Amino acid sequence: MPYLKGFCIMRFGIRQNWKTISTDYPKTRGKYMREGYRSVLEFLEADFEIEEEQEHLYNQLATASHDAKVKETFQHLARAAKGHKDAIGRIIRDIESDNHDVCFYCLMCGWEISFGKMPSVGNEERCSLCCQKFALVDVDNDYEIKPLPQ
């Protein structure tokens, strides 16, 4: 799974409340899903919904609060949740509009390997630090990289 600049999503990361998306016609929020980003988009959309719910809840609690300090705290939390929601929404839109680089960390040295904004499965790139060559592969509509022999 590619990582997202600003959001490093690792293979062993949190995998909770993921929605099942049809593999025949994958969609994300009514739009067709970009090839290779199934898991990333599911993860981001779940986070988006959580932030949206938090913003709503914090605004309700701020409205109901009679203590000025408590009200201020909930308003601050609501603004933070809105900022998180907006940032996640921008990343989702960038991915859906093919305006997001497909990048991985080198499996040998950890350096960044970029396949560009609109790569094709089978494209090959070489790590600029250790010179290991990798191919871009698709596994269940998620991009992965496969080391190639030297």
Residue 15 is assigned to a structural domain of this protein:
no
> pLDDT digits over 24-80, tens only?
334 444 444 567 888 999 999 999 999 999 999 999 999 999 999 999 999 999 999
pLDDT for 136: 95
Spatial CB neighbours of 105, under 8 Å, sequence gap ≥ 6: 3, 111, 112, 113
* Pair (78, 124) in one structural domain: no
Residue 16 is assigned to a structural domain of this protein:
no
Residue 24 is assigned to a structural domain of this protein:
no
Residue 48 is assigned to a structural domain of this protein:
yes
Spatial CB neighbours of 10, under 8 Å, sequence gap ≥ 6: 3
Nearest to 96 by CA among 144, 137, 145, 35: 35
* Pair (91, 131) in one structural domain: no
pLDDT averaged over the chain? 82
Instruction: Give the chain's domain count.
Output: 2
Structure tokens at 47: 């986070």
* Pair (62, 107) in one structural domain: no
More confident position, 143 or 25: 143
* Pair (91, 119) in one structural domain: no
pLDDT at position 9 over 80: no
> pLDDT digits over 115-130, tens only?
998 889 999 999 999 9
Owning domain of residue 133: 103-147
* Pair (87, 38) in one structural domain: yes
